[in-house]
Structure 1
Amino acid sequence: MLPDAEPYSEAWLQGILDALCDLSSKDALTGLVNRRSFEMALAREVDRVARSGEPALLLVLDIDHFKAVNDTHGHAAGDQVIRAVAQSIGQTVRPMDTVARIGGEEFAIILPNCPTSVGVTVAERIRQRVQELAVSVGNGQPPLTCTISIGGAFAPQWVRSSTLIWTERADRQLYRAKAEGRNRACLESHVDSLVSAEEKGLLFAVTQQDSE
């Protein structure tokens, strides 16, 4: 260190560390959790549900016809739409929920302690909030509107599942929402949320390990 150089303050160093943590865990465009951090949060939630038995809902969302926005209005306008949708989702869910951008126009939400009786209501509220957006993109263009398709699935309670199985279940419902015309929310029914063969296998494997 040079003689006249002042040592870095503790607050300054902490600020640098906090900024680095944000860069590694947040999506640069929206400020939401990024895919890596989302996958870590999803794994923790799978473990928590297995231990606590509390219900948890995973929602996956796509902006409908997003390619047309980029092709017609440009990528800058597309970025504005993504930011607006991200902000709208974040304002609609609870602080305890994890909202992530997991792809170009793809989002996901982990909703812990979300009863099956309110899952559809939550998803529909998010869908309506986005539908009401009027996104200003500048350059004298009129505000853009957009819609989203939503798929959702509940993690089986008291069962050791996996993030892959849970995500695949939610993805199947997202594909159904798109196939049925988009701008809708499709959630796995309670009957369909019963323990799958894969999850029974996981449960059996854990039981065997515990008995050895």
Structure 2
Amino acid sequence: MQLLSQAGHALPADAPQGTLPWLQAVIDGLCDLSSRDALTGLSNRRQFELAIAREIDRVARAGEPALVLMIDIDHFKRINDTHGHAAGDEVIRSIGQALVDCVRPMDTVARFGGEEFAVILPNCPPAFGLTVAERIRLKVQRRSITVAQGVDVAVTISIGGAFAPQWVRSSATLWIERADQQLYRAKAEGRNRACLEQPVVSQVSAEEKGLLFGHSQYQDIE
């Protein structure tokens, strides 16, 4: 019988029974370190890539709508320059928590890198996409973040979003690029806003047509 850790990962078949508790703790700790961002506790970039690959497969098989949001903190460099990098870290942590507070347990919230976050929302109908993005934006705008010496910092975010083409095996790169284009538009239009791709049903690219009968991307990620 194969032994499993508390996180569901296989333990060595010859592991002595007496060492199971500490082996479980070590394995579970390593798994958590490999999937979580150290600063925020959110999913890290690798865990996000695994999640978006699974979601692409699900969308291709079931045709259910799915939304990805790319989120960037406005004028983050100004925060670091004015209040220091420790304050910047506190802002990142606080915004990460705000994002978690705005979404469902089934959604994936990740720190994508630096001051940028990403959210995957499975089974999110197009009619609700902008509503969700606006809820996140307003949650952050209304949040007072206390940094060093008790200084309160007001922060805003810009959000770009795109829906995965339904019944089509897209790619993570194409999906994220579409959301990034909307993020750039939000920045260009003045920041502190959410822009979602329109029309919702994106034109299928030549690359996506080539992937239509391809194999699972999830299987490629080790």
Cα distance in 2, alignment partners of residues 62 and 206 from structure 1: 32
- Counterparts in 2 of 1:127-146, with a 5 A limit? 127-140=137-150, 142-146=151-155
- Maintained 8 Å contact 1:116/1:190: no
In structure 2, the partner of 1:12 is 22
- Counterparts in 2 of 1:31-50, with a 5 A limit? 31-50=41-60
Deviations 1:131-180 (A, max 9, x none): 0111111324x211100000000001101111111011000000000000
User: Does 2:98 align with 1:88?
Assistant: yes
Deviations 1:72-93 (A, max 9, x none): 0000000000000000000110
Cα distance in 2, alignment partners of residues 34 and 19 from structure 1: 15
In structure 2, the partner of 1:104 is 114
In structure 2, the partner of 1:59 is 69
Residue aligned with 2:105, SS: coil
After TM superposition, the runs of 4+ consecutive aligned structure 1 residues lying more than 6 A away are none
Task: Name the amino acid aligned to 2:186.
Answer: A
In structure 1, the partner of 2:204 is 195
Task: Name the amino acid aligned to 1:129.
Answer: K
Q: State the 1:197 CA deviation.
A: 3.0
In structure 2, the partner of 1:25 is 35
- Maintained 8 Å contact 2:83/2:148: no
Residue aligned with 1:160, SS: coil
CA RMSD of aligned residues (A): 1.6
Percent of residue pairs bearing the same amino acid type: 69
Q: 1:13 to 1:206 in 2, by over 3 A?
A: closer
In structure 2, the partner of 1:158 is 167
Q: State the 1:191 CA deviation.
A: 5.0
In structure 2, the partner of 1:186 is 195
Q: State the 1:182 CA deviation.
A: 0.3
Cα distance in 1, alignment partners of residues 21 and 120 from structure 2: 33
Q: State the 1:23 CA deviation.
A: 0.7
- Maintained 8 Å contact 1:135/1:143: yes
In structure 2, the partner of 1:124 is 134
Cα distance in 2, alignment partners of residues 134 and 148 from structure 1: 14
Aligned length: 199
In structure 2, the partner of 1:177 is 186
Task: Name the amino acid aligned to 2:207.
Answer: E
Q: 1:174 to 1:85 in 2, by over 3 A?
A: same
- Maintained 8 Å contact 2:163/2:200: no
Q: 1:191 to 1:97 in 2, by over 3 A?
A: closer
- Maintained 8 Å contact 2:158/2:192: yes
| TM-score normalised according to structure 1 size | 0.90
